[in-house]
């Protein structure tokens, strides 16, 4: 019994032991499974990382290499494991630096790459380099000494950055630096001048009448032309000089290392000469000129903004002096520009401040000795400078676009005045206003408003004549033809002003519906003593009459001129002989006196 009893206990113990072993085994298996799962997870993480993961021991042998690493470096794990990284993925030129860095790390624990994100180039198996972003961490424990490098291929991002950089710094049409890069280069050149104690010249170059070429030949040819211009400019200057395109047909050139300002003159001339050579574009031969403004650093200014302004002013001065030339900046130019800027500022306020007034100058019907026309001539009462001549402020109003507003003010004021005088003094009275080409070319909307005003106010268009220059008809023919028809519909007559100073083509005038031709003062002035001008006036009058166009002689100052003009059969005369331009109130008196034929002091009978 005790035996059997003992036997029983032994069995019991064995069974318990077995159960415990089993439980332990299960536990162990489970733990193993968990570890395995964790490992698989880690591996999956390792493999699926979007970064290449490269592990390496402290001797530089590669010990880990994931799928992404295979992809970006072109080496499989099998091929590369146990190789040294400085023999494989580090470009040759970085290898010495890498070895030094490793050595320092092993000796001192210091490192520059650790835990920082750095951009560097890596070497592909096929030998090409590519940009990567790299961060490295280190495991340094007694049983594991390892580097983990996370590497991302940033070729695409770098490429995109380059594209964007190019877009922000280069002009896409000509591939020249744009304004942005030009300014950076200028800054850079200025610093280098300071170091070397030398000067630089900044040139602004603007193609003359480029807009005309563009308008007449089309934008595609215009683009070709700009490309060709760019290449000629580049060829003319030295490699170290920078040609940029600021906008449209505006270029800048930075000439560095200048010892002598005079040495810039031949360069400017060469640039002009280079552009003067005809351009053969598809089937078109194009002739061009340009205007150049030059300023020097540090002589003219040390500030970038002032240098730009100087060169711009000098360029405009070159244009004003007739284009196709270069001009050096001078302080006097700056004074002039300053005065001009003030005038622009004041001109903006002139309408609102009611500083404009229209003077009227009689236009005499020479055959009837009758006054029923006047030219409206604008006057500006400047609060400080006094009376400013339209010859001074009209060009500035044109340049700044203010002419549109001013021109409309003149129209509305003059038409009201004409209407009043028609009602009160003479039902056929007519006022002639001057218009700028810009109003015709760019300001269709304003002119449409004029016609609308006439329709709504019931004022007859016959109360008005508009004066235009010959040039307008020649240069912008298509735009003008339709607009002239609008005027004709509105019963507003049209005069050609300053006739004889431009193209003077009478046959050309035939194509347009022109009512009056104003012979320019310069011919009338010489009538007494210049046979050519005499013959010319005579011819203009005869031919105009054949075309059914009435002639007005401007600038009649002497009795003799008046007599000669009448003998040629000239229709109208205007000038100081009859009256200077005068304010409306004075003109009113003049008008009633003249037509009442009680003008003293003036011979009124025809010669
Ligand atoms: P314009 O149209 O040729 O006007 C004639 C100019 O000759 C006027 O100068 C007039 O005062 C002047 N004049 C008239 N008779 C004689 C004379 O016998 N001898 C001399 N030496 N000169 C005479 P003003 O008023 O100074 O105007 C100058 C120019 O300004 C005008 O030349 C015209 O082109 C422009 N202008 C005047 N008012 C306007 C305007 O409202 N709009 C536009 N766009 N231009 C205007
Ligand atoms: Ca005029
Ligand atoms: Ca005139």
Q: 110: which 2 tokens? A: 């210091």
Distance, CA of 467 to CA of 408 (rounded, Å): 14
Helices (H), 431-476: 437-442, 444-457, 470-475
Q: What is the pLDDT of residues 137-173, one digit of tens each?
A: 888 877 778 888 999 999 999 999 999 999 999 999 9
Q: What is the pLDDT of residue 598?
A: 46
Q: Which of 6-10, 318-322, 331-335 has the lowest mean pLDDT?
A: 6-10
Which ligand 1 atom is at minimum distance from the Cα of 398? 44
Residues 327, 316 contacting (CB under 8 angstroms): no
Contacts of 472 (CB under 8 A, 6+ apart): 437, 440, 441, 480
Q: How far apart are CA 265 and CA 251, in angstroms?
A: 17
Residue in the block written with tokens 């220059």: 469
Q: Would you state the structure tokens that stand for residue 413, as one six-digit string?
A: 């004021």
Does residue 594 surpass a pLDDT of 80? yes
Ligand 1 lined by 434 (C-beta under 6 Å): yes
pLDDT class for 217, splitting at 50, 70, 90?
A: confident
- CB of 410 closer than 6 angstroms to any ligand 1 atom: yes
Q: What spacing in Å lies between the alpha carbon of 436 and ligand 3's midpoint?
A: 12
Pairing relation of β-strands 572-573 and 356-365?
A: antiparallel
From 390, 410, 579, the mutation candidate for ligand 1 (largest count of ligand atoms within 8 A of CB) is: 390
Distance CA 535, CA 541 (A): 10
pLDDT at 43 over 90: no
**Dist CA 275 CA 273 (whole Å):** 5
pLDDT of residue 603: 45
Work out the average pLDDT over 86-95: 93
Q: What does the pLDDT average to over 46-68?
A: 88
Is the C-beta atom of 389 inside 6 A of ligand 1?
yes
Question: pLDDT digits over 434-493, tens only?
Answer: 999 999 988 889 999 999 999 999 999 999 999 999 888 877 677 788 899 999 999 999
Task: Look up residue 462 and give its DSSP letter.
Answer: G
Question: How is residue 319 written in tokens?
Answer: 């244009």
pLDDT for position 114: 72
> What pLDDT was estimated at residue 607?
35
pLDDT in tens, 381-424: 999 999 999 999 999 999 899 999 999 999 999 999 999 999 99
- With a 6 Å cutoff on the Cβ, whether 497 touches ligand 1 is yes
State pLDDT tens for residues 255-293. 999 988 899 999 999 999 999 999 998 888 899 999 999
Question: What's the rounded mean pLDDT across residues 337-343?
Answer: 89
Strands (E), 389-511: 430-434, 464-469, 493-499
- The CB of 435 under 6 Å from ligand 1? The reply is yes
* 88: number of Cβ within 10 Å: 16
Ligand 1: atom nearest CA of 439 is: 44
User: Residue 433: what pLDDT?
Assistant: 98
Nearest ligand (C-alpha, residue 363): 1
């Amino acid at each position: 019994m005790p035996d059997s009893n003992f036997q029983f206990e032994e069995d019991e113990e064995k069974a318990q032991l077995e159960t415990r072993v089993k439980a332990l085994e299960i536990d162990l298996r489970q733990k193993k499974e968990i570890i395995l799962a964790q490992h698989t997870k880690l591996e999956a993480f390792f493999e699926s990382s979007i970064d290449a993961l490269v592990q390496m021991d402290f001797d530089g042998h590669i010990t880990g290499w994931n799928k992404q690493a295979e992809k970006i470096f072109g080496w499989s794990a099998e091929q590369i494991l146990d190789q040294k990284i400085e023999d494989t993925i580090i470009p040759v030129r970085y290898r010495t630096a890498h070895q030094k860095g490793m050595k320092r790390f092993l000796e001192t624990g210091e490192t520059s790459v650790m835990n920082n994100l750095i951009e560097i180039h890596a070497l592909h198996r096929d030998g090409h380099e590519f940009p990567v972003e790299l961060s490295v961490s280190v495991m340094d424990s007694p049983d594991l000494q390892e580097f983990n490098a996370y590497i991302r291929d940033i070729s695409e991002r770098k490429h995109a950055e380059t594209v964007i950089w190019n877009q922000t710094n280069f002009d896409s049409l000509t591939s020249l630096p744009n304004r942005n890069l030009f300014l950076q280069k200028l800054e850079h050149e200025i610093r280098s001048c300071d170091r070397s104690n030398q000067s630089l010249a900044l040139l602004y170059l603007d193609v003359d009448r480029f807009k005309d070429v563009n308008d007449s030949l089309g934008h595609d040819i215009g683009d070709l032309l700009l490309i060709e211009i760019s290449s000629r400019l580049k060829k003319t200057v030295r490699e170290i000089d920078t040609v940029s395109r600021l906008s449209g047909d505006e270029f800048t050139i930075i000439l560095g290392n200048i010892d002598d300002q005079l040495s810039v003159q031949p360069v400017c001339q060469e640039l002009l000469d280079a552009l003067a050579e005809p351009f053969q574009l598809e089937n078109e031969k194009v002739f061009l000129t340009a205007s150049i403004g030059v300023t020097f650093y540090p002589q003219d200014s040390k500030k970038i903004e002032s240098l730009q302004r100087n060169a711009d002013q000098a360029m405009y001065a070159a244009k004003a002096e007739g284009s196709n030339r270069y001009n050096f900046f001078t302080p006097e130019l700056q004074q002039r520009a300053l005065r001009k800027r003030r005038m622009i500022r004041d001109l903006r306020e002139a309408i609102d401040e009611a500083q404009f007034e229209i003077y009227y100058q009689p236009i005499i019907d020479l055959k009837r000795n009758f006054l029923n026309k006047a030219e409206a001539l604008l006057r500006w009462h400047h609060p400080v400078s006094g009376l400013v001549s339209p010859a001074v402020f009209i060009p500035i109003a044109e340049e700044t676009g203010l002419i549109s507003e001013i021109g409309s003010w003149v129209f509305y004021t003059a038409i009201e005045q004409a209407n009043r005088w028609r009602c009160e003094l003479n039902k056929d009275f007519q006022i002639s206003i001057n218009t700028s080409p810009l109003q015709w070319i760019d300001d269709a909307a304003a002119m449409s408003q004029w016609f609308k005003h006439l329709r709504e106010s019931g004022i007859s268009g016959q109360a008005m004549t508009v004066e235009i220059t010959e040039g307008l008809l020649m240069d912008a023919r298509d735009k003008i033809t339709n607009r002239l028809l609008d005027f004709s519909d509105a019963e507003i007559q049209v005069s050609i002003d300053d006739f004889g100073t431009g193209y003077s083509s009478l046959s050309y005038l035939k194509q347009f519906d022109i009512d009056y031709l104003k012979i320019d003062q310069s011919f009338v002035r010489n009538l007494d003593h210049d046979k050519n001008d005499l013959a010319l006036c005579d011819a203009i009058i005869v031919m105009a009459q054949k075309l059914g166009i009435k002639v007005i002689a401007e600038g009649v100052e002497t009795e003799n001129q008046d007599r000669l003009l009448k003998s040629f059969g000239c229709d109208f005369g205007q000038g100081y002989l009859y009256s200077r331009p005068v304010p409306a109130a004075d003109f009113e008196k003049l008008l009633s006196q003249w037509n009442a034929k009680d003008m003293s002091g003036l011979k009124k009978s025809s010669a």
